[in-house]
Amino acid sequence: MDNMNMGMMILFLAGLLFAAIGVFMLLRKNKLKKVCTARTDGTVTDCTRHVSRKRKGGTKVTYNSTFTYSVNGVEYVKSVNRRYSEGERVTVHYDPSDPNRHYPDKLGIFGELFFIAFGALFMILPILVHFGVIGLTIKK
């Protein structure tokens, strides 16, 4: 197998891995939505802003919000990697048989779709190159 075919195979497999991770994350989130059928109000008690430096310059900002909610007189303290305002009220969806299993009201799917889309792109590119739809030559 020549270097170009090996590279295309690696790109395809990387795409397959990315797409599989995205699908797994999406299925896991859907399962969580199915079992977390009860709701209660929660309150955001803290929101921490984390700033980190990127290797090639610039900064990355992430947020971690801590919130509390009560089920049957038991208080639960959880955190999510999302920006909320301190004191903000959130609807918490939880599993009635295990209130530790939860998700806050804003359960997006951007990350999962990102993995699936880039995985699909990495899988499609080698196929297009193989069938000559996209011309690619490597100079030696």
For the four alpha carbons of 48, 74, 39 and 116, in that order, the dihedral sign comes to: positive
- Does residue 137 fall inside a structural domain? no
DSSP reduced 3-state for 115:
helix
Quote the pTM value. Answer: 0.66
Could you give the CA distance from residue 11 to residue 99 in angstroms, rounded to a whole number?
42
pLDDT of residue 137: 60
Domain count, the chain: 1
- Dump pLDDT digits (tens) for 20-59: 999 998 898 889 889 999 999 999 999 999 998 888 888 8
State yes or no: pLDDT of 131 exceeds 60: yes
- Does residue 138 fall inside a structural domain? no
pLDDT of residue 106: 67
- Using DSSP bridges, classify how beta strands 89-95 and 59-71 pair: parallel, antiparallel or unpaired: unpaired
What is the extent of the structural domain holding 125? Answer: 3-130
- Does residue 29 fall inside a structural domain? yes
- Dump pLDDT digits (tens) for 60-111: 898 999 999 999 999 999 998 888 899 999 999 999 999 999 988 766 677 7
pLDDT of residue 16: 93
One-letter amino acid of 59? T
- Does residue 140 fall inside a structural domain? no
Instruction: Point out the least confidently predicted range of 72-81, 109-118, 124-133.
Output: 124-133
